[in-house]
A and B are shown apart, each in its own frame.
Chain A
Amino acid sequence: MIAIHFPALQVVVPLLAAPLCVIVRNARAAWLIALAVSWAMLYVATGLLAEALSAGVISYRLGSWAPPWGIEYRVDPVNGLLLVLVSFVGAVVMTFSRASVDHEVPRSQHHLFYAAYLLCLSGLLGIAVTGDAFNIFVFLEISSLATYILIAMGRDRRALTASYQYLIMGTIGATFIVIGIGLLYLMTGTLNLADLAQRVPQVEHTRPVLAALAFLTVGISLKLALFPLHLWLPNAYAYAPSMVTAFVAATATKVAVYLLLRFFFTVFGASFVLEQVQVPAILLVLSLAAMFVASTVAIYQDDLKRMLAYSSVAQIGYITLGVSTASATGLTATLVHLLNHGVTKGALFLLLGCMALRVDRVTIASIRGIGRTMPLTTFGVVLGGFSLIGVPTTVGFVSKWYLVLAALERGWWWLAVLILLSSLLAVVYMWRVVEAAYFKEPAPRARKVTEAPLSMLLPAWALVAACIYFGLDTRLTVGVATQAAQLLMGGTP
């Protein structure tokens, strides 16, 4: 039965496909390999999630070494959900990528580009699937190094400095994470997450464990771009190739959020993190700052990719806000928003990729009047914007609903009001796009452009459709997220 090896295949297939891309040295063949692998990984991930939902936890022993000595791959509803998100976005983005990459990356580098993408995919899936703390660090480095390469391939020369800055910050973050893991290893003598969860409570008030928590919090916050550690993100997103921006924005920060949840709730335990250490209070302040400051900055941005990058920082604020309410509802909101924002931002960045194909730099000025010449793309951006704002019948509404619910559960009326207020900021920055695209006299270039090719439009619209579909049918997203949240909070799922 090949299905029992799914947890290993999830990582190994893209890892092996990457050198294959380099060997074939052919742009088209490399793309085909990456495409096939991406879709295969989606198939594997959905299989894993389905099994995790029905059978509970899947434990896979790599090389048949029994945990905690050997490396264990462990899939439960929490990371099963993440695997599906990452591989789904990967598959859609890969389908989209050919025309976009042809336009933005020199043809001689295509096979390297796709190889880096596959490494990145492999790393992200590996972080999610593994149950071993050191393994997490290894996969984190694989995905990060690949991401630096992908970002540096952007056409703008500033992509190089952006990538360099991300490299420095990412490395510091990874170092902090490995220091944290090291401190935990020091105190418990184990690297297996499930085993750590057993042993950490016995030593939880020792200084090394508290230091480990601090290092892990800061290290992961860097990777997930929690305000004020987000400074690497806007440039990285703005200058990377369109397809990379969409993929990284929809997956990389989400995987980092998963790491945070995994360490907070599985390893350290909900009661320790939420009640004995003041994590929620700090997260609350930083989340609110992210929501308001980053959204306000987004309002003033002229470059649309940069604008959406700042909006991502703000949305990450919503995600961590759910954690800071310290309740199962809040955690559900976090998980749902993780998915929803992944899909929404993926859709928006792909659509910007469609525009970039026609007008190169997508700015408020360059897309004036583009609603007339690229109606499908522009309308997709409007729908994605609805989801970002949280209009009912879009996914954005569902997660904000749970967030408000979590705030009300705690009796924090003011927080509910703040959540709604910050949504208004999203209205403002999305309105600037709508105004430029529909109500302004066309810019000279925007007048002559034609609609993007179907190979790009269809995948982008698939994500837009997902925004609407999951806004109406919440069984999958909310159902799984609720189960996962209860699992994390320590209740029976």
Chain B
Amino acid sequence: MTGSAVPFAALTLVLGGMLLPSLRGAARATAVLLLPAVALYFVWSVPDGAGATVRFLDYDIVPVRGDRLSRLFATVFAMMAFGGGLFALNQKRALELAAAFVYAGSAIGAVMAGDLVTLFVFWEVMAIGSTLVVWSAGTDAAYNASLRYLMIHLMGGVLLMAGIAGQVAVTGSIAFERMDLSLWPQWLILAGFLVNAGGPPLSAWIPDAYPEASYSGTVFLSAFTTKTAVYVLLRGFPGAEILVFLGLIMIFYGIVYALLENDMRRILAYSIVNQVGFMVTGAGLGTEMAINGAASHAFTHIIYKALLLMSAGSVLFMTGRRKCSDLGGLFQSMPLTAACGIVGALSISAFPLTSGFVSKSMISQAAADGHLALVWLLLAAASAGVFLHAGIKFPWFVFFQKDSGLRPPDPPANMRLAMILFSFLCIAIGVYPEPLYALLPYPVEFVPYTGEHVASQLELLLFSGLAFFVMLDRYLQRTLTITLDVDWFYRRLGPLAARALVGGGFRRWEFLLRTLERVAGEAGAYLYRHHGPEGRLARTWPTGSMVLWVAVLLASYLVFYYL
């Protein structure tokens, strides 16, 4: 059975999202909640295998392809669009939800795309949609961050496009199948994917851009771009060894920077890099267990990271503050937000009976099965680190610790509902993981709740918890600091270096600019002299000179032909 060539699920959200700004009140709320449900229905109505092909130029475009892996990602994307939509119902700016739905829809389109061209199209729409989500926060910082974000993603898009073009030129096929990195275009494609995954050395765009979005925008942003990248890595490059190393770098990069960070949403953004690192490592391990682990971890991570960011978003929405050093003691007046934040924190730390536990342990297990002792050890150490930076640090500094004197109530009902829904999912998956396991690409033989698993994970978590409170006073006290990251190079160093290179000093810089301006002006004037309305090349010529040209050309043709 072949399915339709029309990506209904993606179009539902993309086109529906575009219509959202024209709706008001109850109609808008209904649409926001209904569209993801409709999209989910379409996701599940796609049969296994490639859908109908559309012939464009010489290529067979397969706009829709269904299999277990793509369905898993599309499902969680639709759920995320629903939860995020619910959370953002009270967002005043019409643009944000519209952009977020276009973004979510194109992410679904990307994971269900059957060929590289379709993938690329949705990839670029995602970049535009997510940029608009950042931008719609409406602050100057958000505007600047969105531009940097767009630049990075357009560059990733160019890498991807060059890779796809090369792949087509070499193999003549646009099919999106497993690639073995034997051709140079495939390295470009991998690089394009990794830019979106937040791979080194360009991980910094995640903590640079995501925290600048509005309280609800960040919730959407955390879900789609990086997870789509994980999906394409799982499909295109499973078992590529280099991914193991890149993944480990991302894991530790995320932990170190999150520990240093003061802004609560930047902490969570760094922990996205860290968590995606686990998934990239899983893709690099490439065994069935590792793929299952990475895919299920992407599924659970989307839910608990959204939950954490909803909790942080609620705090931001109610207090207008985002720095840990300005917050604290909020559990008294925001008990529900605190509770949900703690559920998310426990999930990300992979506490038994939460969703993180049933998914992350599969990746470690895959490393153990492959007898990769070093990788396993590093993953175990990283699990402890995750508990430190996200599991304890975020809730502790925001909801407990000192009393900041703030007494905001819990957020409005729609935001509370969204948090409750996602908390429920976190615990439900943790307690009863079988439905999730049934969705995974390969059959699952893994049993999470063995005595050994539970005991070792609890030991790990409790000791790192102990370490947190021991170190709290000396090393982890929050101060008003800015953490330097790679983005500093292109945000600050670039302009500074440019100035230094011309001999330092503002006047020299001005002089250089003026010189450049003059050169450009003269080049323009030269062009204008010859090509401008009165220029030699644009003037109306006397008929005689035209004829002269004809004679010259005829003579040269004759000479050429006779030679």
A residues whose Cβ falls under 8 Å from a Cβ of B = 161, 164-165, 168-169, 172, 176, 207, 210-211, 213-215, 217-218, 221-222, 228-229, 231-232, 234-235, 277-278, 282, 293, 296-297, 299-302, 310, 398, 401-402, 408, 472, 474-475, 478
- Which of B550, B560, B562 interacts with A229 by CB under 8 Å? B550
Q: A297-B537, A408-B169 are in contact. List 5 more A-B contacts (CB 8 A).
A: A214-B554, A231-B549, A282-B560, A300-B533, A301-B533
Cβ contact within 8 Å between B561 and A218: no
Chain B contact-residue range equals 20 to 34
- B557 sits at the interface (CB 8 A): yes
The answer for the CA separation of A363 and B272 in the assembled complex, in Å, is 54
Q: Which residues of chain B come closer than 8 Å to A282, judged between CB atoms?
A: 557, 560
Question: By the criterion CB–CB under 8 Å, are A218 and B554 in contact?
Answer: yes
Residues of B participating in the A interface, judged by any CB pair closer than 8 Å? 55-57, 169, 527-528, 531-533, 535, 537-538, 540-541, 543, 546-547, 549-550, 553-554, 557-558, 560-563
With A and B bound together, what is the CA distance between A214 and B563 in angstroms?
13
Nearest Cβ on chain A to B527's Cβ, whole angstroms: 6
Contacts of A234 in B (CB 8 A): 538, 540
Closest to A216 in B: B557
The distance in angstroms between the C-alpha atoms of A234 and B535, with both chains bound, is 14
User: Is B527's CB under 8 angstroms from A296's CB?
Assistant: yes
Instruction: Please determine whether A297 and B557 come into contact, CB atoms closer than 8 angstroms.
Output: no
B57 touches A228 (CB 8 A): no
Bound-state Cα–Cα, A302 to B549, Å: 26
Query: B561 near A210 (CB under 8 angstroms)?
Result: yes
Q: How far is the CA of A293 from the CA of B527 in the complex (A)?
A: 10
Residue of B nearest to A299 (CB): B531
The smallest C-beta distance from B535 to any residue of chain A, in angstroms, reads 7
| Interface CB pairs A-B, < 8 A, 24 | A161-B540, A165-B543, A172-B547, A207-B562, A211-B561, A213-B561, A217-B557, A218-B550, A228-B553, A231-B540, A235-B540, A282-B557, A296-B527, A297-B531, A297-B535, A300-B531, A300-B538, A301-B538, A310-B538, A398-B57, A402-B57, A472-B56, A474-B56, A474-B57
Among candidates B57, B557, B560, B562, residue contacting A478 with C-beta atoms closer than 8 Å: B57
| Cβ contact within 8 Å between A300 and B532 | yes
Total residue contacts A-B, CB cutoff 8 A: 87
**Interface centre among A169, A229, A231, by most B CB within 10 Å?**
A231
Q: B residues within 8 A CB of A474? A: 56-57
Chain A contacts for B560, CB-based, 8 A: 277-278, 282
Nearest 10 A/B pairs, CB to CB: A214-B557, A210-B561, A296-B531, A300-B532, A297-B538, A297-B531, A218-B554, A214-B558, A231-B546, A231-B541
Q: In chain B, what residue has the closest Cβ to A478?
A: B57
CB distance from A232 to the nearest CB of B (A): 7
- The answer for the CA separation of A277 and B114 in the assembled complex, in Å, is 47
B80 shortest CB reach to chain A, Å: 29
Alpha-carbon distance A229/B545, docked complex (angstroms): 11
Which A residue sits closest to B547, measured CB to CB?
A: A172
Q: Which residues of B contact A221 (CB under 8 A)?
A: 553
A168 touches B543 (CB 8 A): yes
Residue of B whose beta carbon sits closest to that of A282:
B560
Closest CB in chain A relative to B58 CB, distance in Å: 8
Q: Which residues of B contact A211 (CB under 8 A)?
A: 558, 561
- For the complex, give the distance between the alpha carbons of A278 and B556 in Å: 12
A217, A282, A293, A297 — most chain B CB neighbours (10 Å): A297
Question: In the complex, how many angstroms separate the beta carbon of A166 from the nearest chain B beta carbon?
Answer: 10
Q: How far is the CB of A329 from chain B (nearest CB, A)?
A: 10
Question: Within the complex, what minimum Cβ distance (angstroms) separates B324 from chain A?
Answer: 45
Given A277-B561, A282-B560, A474-B56, A300:B549 Cβ within 8 A: no
Residues on B with beta carbons closer than 8 Å to the beta carbon of A408: 169
Residues of A within 8 A of B538 (CB): 234, 297, 300-301, 310
Instruction: Name A238's closest neighbour in chain B (CB-CB).
Output: B540
Residue contact A401 to B57, C-beta cutoff 8 Å: yes
- Complex Cα gap A164–B546 (Å): 13
Complex formed: what's the CA distance from A401 to B117 in Å?
A: 14
